[in-house]
Amino acid sequence: MAPWMKALLIASLCLGPVLGFLAGRATQAPASTDLEPILRELAAQRALLVSLQTAQQGPSARAPSGDNLDTAWLRSEIAQAVREALEDSTPPEAAPKTPPPEPSPQALAALQEGHRVIDNAVAARRWTDEDARALRSTLSTMTASQQDEVLRRLVTTLNTNTLEVRTHGAPF
């Protein structure tokens, strides 16, 4: 490469960014003239909002600020908040808790049968229409808590993909 070309290349590499920076600075509009009307409008809106807020709350609802914290005002605000909370809450009824009735022997047998149906399906790794029919027939004689137990076990087993569902319709 000729020495005059090297000098031209170095000069263009140095002068290019400098001239670009200067051209950008010269065409940039001063930001302060554009923002002044907007800042004035925002200040007017803020003053309007503050005046509306104080008019809505009234003079007694304003909290003291700064170093002159009024403890009497604070106590009255806390007392009012506690009163409102107590008025809103309803006392819990003192109903005597009776233990759930013991499941009948038929319900216990149905629970064992439901678990057996699920165990057989897990061993076969599939859930068929026959399994669903057998489980439905046992669910009718179970208590509500037993039904929840068996259905929770079945759904958990189905969700872990332990069983392949081969039913035409609902799996239970």
In this prediction, residues 144-156 reach a mean pLDDT of 93
Confidence of residue 61 (pLDDT cuts 50, 70, 90): low
Confidence of residue 171 (pLDDT cuts 50, 70, 90): confident
C-alpha 129/C-alpha 97 separation (Å) is: 41
Our measurement of the distance from residue 115's CA atom to the centroid of its chain's CA atoms, rounded to an integer in Å, reads 36
Question: Which of 158, 155, 144 minimizes the C-alpha distance to 111?
Answer: 144
Q: Is 172 exposed, middle or buried (0-12, 13-18, 19+ CB in 10 A)?
A: middle
The number of folded domains in the chain is 1
pLDDT score, position 154: 92
Tell me whether residue 136 is in a domain.
yes
- pLDDT digits 0-9 by tens, 72-130: 778 888 888 888 888 776 666 655 677 778 889 999 999 999 999 999 999 999 999 99
pLDDT score, position 119: 95
Q: Which amino acid is at 169?
A: G
C-alpha 111/C-alpha 107 separation (Å) is: 6
Q: How many other CB atoms are there within 10 angstroms of residue 38's CB atom? A: 9
Confidence of residue 58 (pLDDT cuts 50, 70, 90): low
Tell me whether residue 23 is in a domain.
no
pLDDT score, position 6: 86
Tell me whether residue 125 is in a domain.
yes
Confidence of residue 138 (pLDDT cuts 50, 70, 90): very high
C-alpha 24/C-alpha 31 separation (Å) is: 14
Q: Are 131 and 120 in contact (CB under 8 A)?
A: yes
Tell me whether residue 9 is in a domain.
no
Tell me whether residue 158 is in a domain.
yes
- pLDDT digits 0-9 by tens, 4-57: 888 888 888 888 888 888 888 777 666 556 778 888 888 999 888 888 877 777
Tell me whether residue 150 is in a domain.
yes
pTM comes to 0.45
Tell me whether residue 129 is in a domain.
yes
Tell me whether residue 18 is in a domain.
no
The boundaries of the domain holding residue 128 are: 105-166
What are 128's strand-pairing partners? Answer: 166
59, pLDDT greater than 60: no
